[in-house]
Amino acid sequence: MNARQPGTYRICFLLIDGFALMSYAATEEPLRAANILAGRTVYEMHHAAVSGDHATSSSGARIEADVKLGRDFDFDLVLVMAGGDPVSFHDEATFSWLRALARHGVRLGGVSGGPVILAAAGVMEGRRMTVHWEHAGALAEIYPDLLIERTLFVIDRDRITSAGGTAPLDLIYAFLAERHGPGFARQVGDWFMQTEVRPSGGPQRAGLVERHGTTEAAVIRAIEAMENHIADPLRLAQLAELSGTGPRQLNRLFRERLGRSTMEFYRRLRIDMARSLLRQSTLSLTEIALATGFATSAHFSSAFREALGVSPSAFRKGESGTAAASPRSTAQ
């Protein structure tokens, strides 16, 4: 790696094979544009790869590495880029380097699944963070003490985390505004025709109306209560009370709008969470059963098999079942 150029901010992208190219481009391209608009190299960018000389994205794009993992520490910021199944990533050399970078006072960040890697390395303690919604449930179960927020991005002192997708555009805008002022950041936003920058606290996913295809207020209120009570399921009477209607009326609305009774929909919501945890975590079947509101692993296994046509243990091993539709798709 070349000697540092005066007045530059040195950033290293630590790329985990399977990283999303969109997330990477949404992070790297605004920094490149900042250099062009500034007329000099404000941001010096480097790349490290766990596999050695290069990393491969989920779409097959190959990015060459110019930094040796574990050897270089002269950075202002190291950003971990990961996608796919970051919970299954276990590389002690990577974790050790991240901990060493933290000890050297290097600012650390993660994009999409990258925050999962930071958490596994043990460098997120006491810091607020976010992660792509697909990984949030598993991360919270594995590390219950983490301060996870379901937002687009979080900047907490020496840690930067982003949900991925296009969220890094908003993160880098905030980052540039912090370092150069909002005027310069706005120029970068205009470069990418990003005329409406989303705040850090913006939601990661479409609202319940968009996700489930109904505007029925009682149904939406019931689903919101369900999502807030996965591990401790509510009774039908409680859901009806929270939705402002009676149990029979709520069941009628769910069948009309979503094709299932209220409690059938609720159980499938919990099964889908369990499916995510089976795919993204190493939690035991008993732990997953409890995390998704089933009293015993036997009850959980029976419900899972009934819904998906395969046992939880077989699903975890990669054996396919009926792949029954999610709660939302039943309304189609």
* Antiparallel, parallel or unpaired: β 159-162 and 128-129: unpaired
pLDDT values of the chain reduced to their tens digit, one per residue, 332 residues: 666 677 899 999 999 999 999 999 999 999 999 999 999 999 999 999 998 799 999 889 999 999 988 888 899 999 999 988 898 899 999 999 999 999 999 999 999 999 999 999 999 988 889 998 888 888 888 888 888 888 888 888 899 999 888 889 989 988 888 888 878 988 998 888 776 666 665 555 555 666 777 878 889 888 878 876 787 888 999 999 888 899 999 999 999 999 999 999 999 999 998 998 888 777 789 988 988 889 899 999 999 999 999 999 999 988 655 444 445 433 32
Whether residue 232 contacts residue 293, with contact meaning beta carbons closer than 8 Å, is answered with yes
pLDDT at site 119? 96
Q: Report the C-alpha gap between 103 and 135 in whole angstroms.
A: 27
Pick from 27, 13, 146, 158: nearest CA to 80: 13
Contact partners, residue 284, CB within 8 Å, separation at least 6: none
Q: Report the C-alpha gap between 283 and 269 in whole angstroms.
A: 19
Enter the pTM of the model: 0.67
Whether residue 119 contacts residue 146, with contact meaning beta carbons closer than 8 Å, is answered with yes
Whether residue 152 contacts residue 204, with contact meaning beta carbons closer than 8 Å, is answered with yes
- Measured between its terminal Cα atoms, the distance across the chain in Å is 54
Torsion of CA 248, 252, 255, 261, to 10 degrees: 0
Contact partners, residue 322, CB within 8 Å, separation at least 6: 308, 309, 310
Q: Mind listing the domains of the chain with CATH numbers?
A: 9-191 (3.40.50.880), 208-331 (1.10.10.60)
Pick from 19, 87, 101, 107: nearest CA to 58: 19
3-class SS string, 30-43: HHHHHHHHHCCCCE
